[in-house]
Every structure is written in C-alpha cells, then in structure tokens.
A and B are shown apart, each in its own frame.
Chain A
C-alpha cells in the first residue's frame, strides 16, 4: 500500500531579490500566513513585504536581564548580610556600590543567555532535520538563489497554489514531501544520549556515596605535590634524632591544653582549705630568683620602683601633680615595708594575679610560674634592702648617697 506522500509545502526559487520581495508581498496579500523566505544574505524590506511581526525576543532579553540584576543583588545580600554576615574592610554587610559590579555582570550574562537561547527556542532549534534539506536545489539558498516556501498546513493552501506561485516570477517550483521517517532522532543518537546521561550522573553519584559512607583507604591524590610535601608528619620516622622518630616528646612539665587545674595552689596562691600558701608550690632556686628579678623589672618596677619602695619616676611625678586637674593619686605600696613583709607568698601571688586597690591584675601578662618568681624575688629584695639600710655598711651608704 503506497499512500500519496504527505505534503510539507511548495518551494519556489527566484533568481533575484526584487522578484522575491515582490512575490513575498503577493503571497502575504493573498492571505497566506505559514510561509517563509530563505536568502543567502539579509534582504532589506523583506520583513516588511512578508508582514513579519516584531519578535518578542527583546522582552525575553529584558526579563532575563532584570532577573540577573535582581538575582545578583539578592545573592550578595543573602550570602553576605543574612546567611553568613561578615564584615569586609569595614564596609556595610550589604553596600550597594560594592554589589553593583556583580549584579551588572549577571545582568549581562543572563541577558546574553536570554538572547542566545531565546533566539534558538523561538526558531524551534535545535531541530533534528528539516524537510527542505531533502530538496537538492535548496542547497543554493546559501549561495546565489532566493526561495519562498508556503507550507501545506496553511489554511489558504490549495492544489492550485504551486501553479499560482510559478506565475509570480519563480524560476522553478517544486513540491516538498514530508519525509516518510518519523521526526525522531536515529537509534545511535538515542543510545549515545543514554550513555552520556549515565556518565554525567556518575560524578554526583560518587559525591553522594563519599558523603554518606566511611572510607578505609586514603582518598585519591589528584594534586600530588600538595598532598605529599617535604616535611615530617606525626608517626613518621626520621634519621635526624637518636630515637628515630620524627615526633619529639613534650618538654618536661608540659601541661596539655585544658589540663591545667585552675584550683591548684600553683594557679591560685591558696591552699585547698582556702588559706594563703605560706610555701612556694614549685622548686625554689637561684634561677627562679633571677627570673623574678627580670619580670619584676619589666612589669612592676615602673610603678613600684626598681628598689620596690614605691618611689619610681611615675610615682614621683604623680605626687608632684597631686590635686591638679582633679587627680587623686594613691601611691604604689612600698614592697619592702612591714605591711607587705607580713604577707604570705600566696597572698602576694594573688595580688599580682588579680590586682589590689588601684593596682590592676597581671594574670594576662605574667604566667603563674613567673608570678611566683616575682613573689620570691620580693622576699630576696626585702632582705637585701634590710642589709642595705643597716648602719655601718660603707659601700651601701655610698651607693645610697649618690
């Protein structure tokens, strides 16, 4: 059973622009709506002759551009001001001027996408095939001939249409059959689509698996020089040290972070029963006194003076200005005096740590061990001062008389 092939339309070939434009005008005036012209180059006036309506593409482009603009601002506002507020170079979380460049670029990007993909969509592209390509003479549409096609589906189309078209000055008229094969891609293309789609699903599947499973093996090293660097890591061997390990043992007395007992005598200066420690909770030796002398000179001597008597330059100057401009100076304590001498080391430690009266605490600047060292040094200083002040000590008198 060989049925009459379905008709796609009728193709008319023209040899020059003028006859094409004239014919197009007549076709439009005859009432045809489903027809198209094919030319090797843009022809001025053809749109007019064919009665082509303005395209809605500009509106699509405008819409896409506006989405890009709004989306750009929204993205920056959401990410930087709402979801993860983060101050960058002192600017507002969402500063309009700073957000403009990204929104501007997104406007252009989406508008271009709108223009490109919108044009494809409005033209019905991509298209697998077109019946006109089955006509041999149509290949000249890209070189030197002009064509007019009236589709068979046009309501005005009649069996007389080809003849009428020929009378409009066409050099040739040909009917274009609708091909027998269905308008579907071939099998190999379908197969290829399946393969490509499956392959494209692999990476997301692998990511999903990695996120929800535990790995026994090291991950794949894509960038080796970042993963394997010339340095020692924990648990590695090293020929440098006698024990052959890259890891070094902690120095003696190291306390791990969080392991320090904040209630110990070492840290508070008090015994477990709450009384002040009368003994030093660490080994006392010459080195500790030296350490105390050094810390004392750095942190304490500015006010209390190098000799601990509380008449440093700061104190002397403050006394001179006493009462001026509303100052009310409380002189620093004489650390060599009776009042301080009567205090147990634990109390001195606590004073250094937390401060007392107008003196601020120094626990942030001086480590506990060094605070004990200072307390110890004060004791040494007091004894030395006592010796210095003893009558008959010639060297010291000369020293004091200077």
Chain B
C-alpha cells in the first residue's frame, strides 16, 4: 500500500486510455503540421533556408521545455522541496523526453552538412560552415570549435549527458514508487548537487552552439543564462498548463491544490523578472560599451522591421506579465493563472523567434504559416513522445517520503 493510496484515496492518478489517445492525436496533428511546413518551405525555393530557421525556433522551444523540466527535477531534490512533490512527476516526464527531443534534432544535420546556401550565406542555417563576408577571417579563427563534425559530436555529447541525468533522477523516482524505503529519494537528493553543475555547463554550451553561433562573429557571455532564464519561464508555464489539463480531464484532483498553483505562479512571476533582469543586463552593458562588435547583434534587431518584435518582448515578456502576475489573487485564480501561463509560453516562443530569425533577414520580418506550422508540428511531436513516455505511469510520485508534507502545504 503506497503513501499515495492512503493519502490520495479515490484520486485518479493515471488514465492510460486518455494518455494513449492524446499521444495519437498529438502525433497526427504534429506530423501533418510539419509535413505542410516542409511543403511550404520547399515552395519558397531557398533550399529550405527559411524552413530550417523556423525549425530551429520550434526545436529550441521544445528543447527549452524539456531542459526546464530537467532543471525543475534537479532543483527540487537539491533544495529538499516539500511543496512540489505532486508536481514533480509532470516535470520528470519532460526530463526523460530529452532523448526524444534529441531525435527531433536529427533534421538539423541537413543544414549542417549540405552545401546549399554555403556560397551566399556561409551556411544554410549556421553561417560559420563556410566563413564568408567581412568577418570571414574572424570566423575562420573559430573553426576548431565551430565546424560541422565537432558541432554534431558536441550535440551528441550534450544529449548523452542530459539523457543520463534525466534517466538517473527519474529512475530514482520510479523506484521509489515501488518501495517504502526512502533510499532512492535520498540517492536522488545526493546526486542533485552534481547534477545541477553538469546541467548548468551543458545548457550554457548548448545555447552558445545552437543559438549564439547563428551570428558567429558576435559573443555574449551571459547568453547561456539568458537561454536558461527563458527555459525556466517555459517550464513553469508548462507545468501550470499541464496540471490544469490533468485536472480538467479528471486526474490529480486532490494531489494538486490551489496552494501548488500559487507557488507555481510565484515562480513563474519570479522567473519572468529574472528573464527581464538577465535580458537587460545583456543589453545595458552593450549599450553602454557601444562597441560595434557587440552592438551589431542588437542593431540587427532594431531595424524598422524587427523593432516592433523587440518592443513586443520588452512589453509582453516582461512589463505586462510582471504587472499581471504581481497579485496574490491572480496566482490563486486558476483560469487567470492559466491565461498568463499560456501568454508566457507564447512570449517564450517569440523570444526564441527573435533570437533566430533576424539572422535570416534583418531587413524584413519573416513571419508566416511556415513558422507557425513548424513550431506547432514540433510541439505536437514533443507532446506525442511525452504522452507515450508517461504511458500508464502514475502522475505523482506514489511513495515519496515528502508526499504528506506536500499535501498539507499551505501558503500563509
């Protein structure tokens, strides 16, 4: 008899049939959207250059959610958190979906190894494949790090590390489901200290590789933290929305209370501000230094075409949700909280779009069906994989030693 069976008797903690159906629907929708996006991309006649920029946006979007989930799991163990136990399994599913996210990245091998677009742009997606233009010499100097083979190997390395981390922590959690002995949870807590360091290093480097190298002459040491801030915003928004979805479909009725949502809302608020703080820290130093090699990146995003998107981020990713999430009442009113979670998830997408697509053409705002369908497709495939991984597994850790505290937890 598990702890959950006693404490949450009568609560529906899994729905195998619904999960299977969700997976099928997501796979179908995602597959169709992505196929349509490929067709539209081929129609552009640019060797899929625009499509792959859109693909990178959607891909980094799902990657950031999965990485956020991994971070959430590790940090809850690290801080010995009580409040989050019933929510942790939802994050654990995104954490072990990292190998699947890695598989979704395989199409990016095409822009990495093809020769299309190499002459005019230096590469179909990442322009360092064949350095060209006024900074060719500079970029060529970075060749020992920025070359397709090493890049692919690094990606493999990151995913190996993330998969190992995800599986290690989540396996502890699954083992705990089957035993009363708290040893698996203790083991997870012990390894969390190492895990968070490994996570920080790999995530930073991955952000440099995937996103910052889109402008290989430009550099910003805070960029990894910037990506991390966005991905933590994404995971809290994601957890709010998935928990709401589970509850609206009759699951986890007693496991998740308004107190848990209140805390998720607090963290969402905190990381909305953290993102703003980091984004501003990056901007202000470059604004003040006013050195062309640094400001060029922002100049690309302050053209007539892209300035509205930059302002949209300032307002929509920071000022408006900051005011919107400030109040305690908002965090405890689930419909409103759900609205802000969806808002932040969309803004997080805009943020990644703003990081990637100006590299395609900084004079024109490239936005259309291709961008929407590609991201919708990737989110669909991500959700399909997620639901498949979740499968028939219970949605809360059944025997976590902190489960009673979690259920009794109240905000003062």
Among the 9-residue stretches B16-24, B156-164, B284-292, the one with 4 or more Cβ atoms under 8 Å from chain A is B284-292
Additional pairs, 5, CB under 8 Å, beyond known A42-B412, A89-B290, A100-B284: A95-B287, A97-B280, A97-B284, A97-B287, A97-B288
The reply to whether A97 and B283 contact each other, CB–CB distance below 8 Å, is yes
Tell me whether B328 is interfacial, beta carbon within 8 Å. yes
Determine the distance from Cα of A62 to Cα of B328 in the docked complex, in whole angstroms: 13
B261-309 interface (Cβ within 8 A of A): 280, 283-284, 287-288, 290
Tell me whether A51 is interfacial, beta carbon within 8 Å. no
Determine the distance from Cα of A95 to Cα of B288 in the docked complex, in whole angstroms: 10
A361-375 interface (Cβ within 8 A of B): none
In the bound complex, residues from chain A placing their C-beta under 8 Å from that of B284 are 97-98, 100-101
In the bound complex, residues from chain A placing their C-beta under 8 Å from that of B80 are none
Determine the distance from Cα of A97 to Cα of B288 in the docked complex, in whole angstroms: 8
The reply to whether B288 and A44 contact each other, CB–CB distance below 8 Å, is no
Determine the distance from Cα of A95 to Cα of B290 in the docked complex, in whole angstroms: 13
In the bound complex, residues from chain A placing their C-beta under 8 Å from that of B410 are 44-45
A312-329 interface (Cβ within 8 A of B): none
Given the interface pairs A42-B412, A58-B328, the reply to whether A98 lies near B288 with Cβ below 8 Å is yes
Task: Return the 10 tightest CB-CB contacts between A and B, nearest first.
Answer: A97-B287, A44-B410, A97-B284, A42-B412, A98-B288, A97-B283, A100-B280, A100-B284, A98-B284, A97-B288
Tell me whether A401 is interfacial, beta carbon within 8 Å. no
Determine the distance from Cα of A390 to Cα of B326 in the docked complex, in whole angstroms: 100
A50-89 interface (Cβ within 8 A of B): 58, 62, 89
In the bound complex, residues from chain B placing their C-beta under 8 Å from that of A217 are none
Determine the distance from Cα of A100 to Cα of B290 in the docked complex, in whole angstroms: 17
By beta carbon, the residue of chain B nearest A45 is B410
Number of interface residues of B (CB under 8 A): 11
By beta carbon, the residue of chain A nearest B289 is A89
Tell me whether A90 is interfacial, beta carbon within 8 Å. yes
The reply to whether A98 and B290 contact each other, CB–CB distance below 8 Å, is no
Binding site for A on B (CB under 8 A): 280, 283-284, 287-288, 290, 326-328, 410, 412
In the bound complex, residues from chain A placing their C-beta under 8 Å from that of B327 are 58
In the complex, how many angstroms separate the beta carbon of A201 from the nearest chain B beta carbon? 42
Tell me whether A91 is interfacial, beta carbon within 8 Å. yes
The reply to whether B412 and A44 contact each other, CB–CB distance below 8 Å, is yes
In the bound complex, residues from chain B placing their C-beta under 8 Å from that of A95 are 287
Given the interface pairs A58-B328, A100-B280, the reply to whether A91 lies near B412 with Cβ below 8 Å is no
Binding site for B on A (CB under 8 A): 42, 44-45, 58, 62, 89-91, 95, 97-98, 100-101
| Interface CB pairs A-B, < 8 A, 9 | A44-B412, A45-B410, A58-B327, A89-B290, A95-B287, A97-B288, A98-B288, A100-B284, A101-B284
The reply to whether B288 and A89 contact each other, CB–CB distance below 8 Å, is yes
In the bound complex, residues from chain B placing their C-beta under 8 Å from that of A45 are 410
In the bound complex, residues from chain B placing their C-beta under 8 Å from that of A44 are 410, 412
Q: Contact check: which of B283, B288, B326 meets A91 at CB < 8 Å?
A: B288
Given the interface pairs A44-B410, A44-B412, the reply to whether A98 lies near B287 with Cβ below 8 Å is yes
Determine the distance from Cα of A98 to Cα of B328 in the docked complex, in whole angstroms: 32
In the bound complex, residues from chain A placing their C-beta under 8 Å from that of B328 are 58
Determine the distance from Cα of A91 to Cα of B290 in the docked complex, in whole angstroms: 9
The prevalent SS among residues of B at the interface is: helix
Determine the distance from Cα of A30 to Cα of B147 in the docked complex, in whole angstroms: 78
Determine the distance from Cα of A42 to Cα of B412 in the docked complex, in whole angstroms: 8
By beta carbon, the residue of chain A nearest B287 is A97
Determine the distance from Cα of A309 to Cα of B344 in the docked complex, in whole angstroms: 81
Q: Contact check: which of A42, A58, A90 meets B290 at CB < 8 Å?
A: A90
In the bound complex, residues from chain B placing their C-beta under 8 Å from that of A58 are 327-328
In the bound complex, residues from chain B placing their C-beta under 8 Å from that of A97 are 280, 283-284, 287-288
By beta carbon, the residue of chain B nearest A65 is B326
In the complex, how many angstroms separate the beta carbon of B260 from the nearest chain A beta carbon? 15
By beta carbon, the residue of chain A nearest B411 is A44
In the complex, how many angstroms separate the beta carbon of A373 from the nearest chain B beta carbon? 48
In the bound complex, residues from chain A placing their C-beta under 8 Å from that of B283 are 97
In the complex, how many angstroms separate the beta carbon of B319 from the nearest chain A beta carbon? 12
In the complex, how many angstroms separate the beta carbon of A63 from the nearest chain B beta carbon? 13
Determine the distance from Cα of A98 to Cα of B290 in the docked complex, in whole angstroms: 12
In the complex, how many angstroms separate the beta carbon of B174 from the nearest chain A beta carbon? 32
In the complex, how many angstroms separate the beta carbon of B346 from the nearest chain A beta carbon? 25
In the complex, how many angstroms separate the beta carbon of B294 from the nearest chain A beta carbon? 14
In the complex, how many angstroms separate the beta carbon of B299 from the nearest chain A beta carbon? 15
By beta carbon, the residue of chain B nearest A44 is B410
Determine the distance from Cα of A89 to Cα of B289 in the docked complex, in whole angstroms: 9
In the bound complex, residues from chain A placing their C-beta under 8 Å from that of B290 are 89-90
In the complex, how many angstroms separate the beta carbon of B315 from the nearest chain A beta carbon? 14
In the bound complex, residues from chain A placing their C-beta under 8 Å from that of B280 are 97, 100
Determine the distance from Cα of A100 to Cα of B277 in the docked complex, in whole angstroms: 11
By beta carbon, the residue of chain A nearest B284 is A97
In the bound complex, residues from chain B placing their C-beta under 8 Å from that of A42 are 412
In the bound complex, residues from chain A placing their C-beta under 8 Å from that of B288 are 89, 91, 97-98
In the bound complex, residues from chain A placing their C-beta under 8 Å from that of B412 are 42, 44
By beta carbon, the residue of chain B nearest A91 is B288
In the bound complex, residues from chain B placing their C-beta under 8 Å from that of A89 are 288, 290
Determine the distance from Cα of A91 to Cα of B412 in the docked complex, in whole angstroms: 47
By beta carbon, the residue of chain B nearest A62 is B326
Looking at B283, B284, B326, B410, the one whose CB has the most chain A CB atoms below 10 A away is B284
Determine the distance from Cα of A42 to Cα of B410 in the docked complex, in whole angstroms: 11
Determine the distance from Cα of A43 to Cα of B287 in the docked complex, in whole angstroms: 50
In the complex, how many angstroms separate the beta carbon of B327 from the nearest chain A beta carbon? 8
Determine the distance from Cα of A381 to Cα of B283 in the docked complex, in whole angstroms: 65
Determine the distance from Cα of A62 to Cα of B327 in the docked complex, in whole angstroms: 10
By beta carbon, the residue of chain B nearest A43 is B412
In the complex, how many angstroms separate the beta carbon of B330 from the nearest chain A beta carbon? 12
By beta carbon, the residue of chain A nearest B290 is A90
By beta carbon, the residue of chain B nearest A95 is B287
Determine the distance from Cα of A367 to Cα of B306 in the docked complex, in whole angstroms: 58
In the complex, how many angstroms separate the beta carbon of A123 from the nearest chain B beta carbon? 16
Determine the distance from Cα of A97 to Cα of B276 in the docked complex, in whole angstroms: 13
Determine the distance from Cα of A90 to Cα of B290 in the docked complex, in whole angstroms: 10
In the complex, how many angstroms separate the beta carbon of A254 from the nearest chain B beta carbon? 46
In the complex, how many angstroms separate the beta carbon of A127 from the nearest chain B beta carbon? 24
Determine the distance from Cα of A43 to Cα of B135 in the docked complex, in whole angstroms: 65
In the complex, how many angstroms separate the beta carbon of B322 from the nearest chain A beta carbon? 11
Determine the distance from Cα of A68 to Cα of B194 in the docked complex, in whole angstroms: 41
By beta carbon, the residue of chain A nearest B328 is A58
In the complex, how many angstroms separate the beta carbon of B258 from the nearest chain A beta carbon? 13
In the complex, how many angstroms separate the beta carbon of B179 from the nearest chain A beta carbon? 31
In the bound complex, residues from chain B placing their C-beta under 8 Å from that of A100 are 280, 284
In the complex, how many angstroms separate the beta carbon of A101 from the nearest chain B beta carbon? 7
In the complex, how many angstroms separate the beta carbon of B295 from the nearest chain A beta carbon? 12
